[in-house]
Homo-oligomer: A and B are copies of this chain.
């Protein structure tokens, strides 16, 4: 037996995909929708919560529920096959970066293998498509290993490590979770929409950590791709 809220969610899904409600459009208020479906507002809200978790609807407090614009799915390419960590896109994809020097907070000392409060360059990084944020990144570079020409910007910031000594190893660890309140606000996603959390640690030939990057990618508009090529014939690993 489909519950009331699932039936309503399904009906709204239909109306959205059929174009009855268009991307960017504001839905009728929750009170109106509750009347239309003859349910209480709580039931209607729980139906909207389902759509929210799917990334179909965005709620804006004090303003309304909006049909989310379907966003291009972006791909983060990891591993050796990636010349630059962010692939290029045909669509206009805006990037913003903010650089600041900080002292290593405790949760980073283990990751970077540096003493507490040692100087770091932090780059806050975001990609946007139109007005909608696509992804977030925090990138940390120990100051004594940073390129000598700040400020970093654009893709250079993301691949800062490449400017340093030759890398010997890059580790990328990926997990899935719900966004923190702040991430949800910044990315303008529902707190119930899963995100990919990727931690990339680059090490140089001497074993020092050259760069750590913490990426947050909304599950409805990003995924991560790794391609592993195996040696055939006399071919060796590709970079």
Using CB atoms and an 8 Å cutoff, list the residues of chain A in contact with chain B: 42, 53, 78-80, 166-178, 192-196, 205, 217, 219-220, 222-232, 236-237, 239
Contact = CB atoms under 8 A, between A and B. Distances in A.
Contacts of A195: 176, 194
Nearest to A224: B174
Contacts of A169: 227-230
Given A174-B224, A176-B194, A178-B193, 13 more contacts: A80-B228, A80-B230, A166-B230, A168-B232, A169-B227, A169-B229, A174-B174, A174-B223, A176-B196, A192-B192, A194-B219, A196-B196, A231-B236
Nearest to A226: B172
Contacts of A42: 42
Contacts of A223: 173-175
Contacts of A176: 176-177, 194-196, 217, 219
A217 B228 CA distance: 21
Contacts of A225: 171-174
Chain A residues touching B, majority SS: strand
Contacts of A173: 223-226
A132 to B, nearest CB: 18
Contact of A166 (B79, B167, B172, B232): B232
Contacts of A236: 231, 236-237
14 contacts: A78-B228, A80-B237, A167-B230, A169-B227, A169-B228, A174-B174, A174-B196, A174-B225, A176-B177, A176-B194, A176-B195, A177-B219, A192-B192, A205-B232
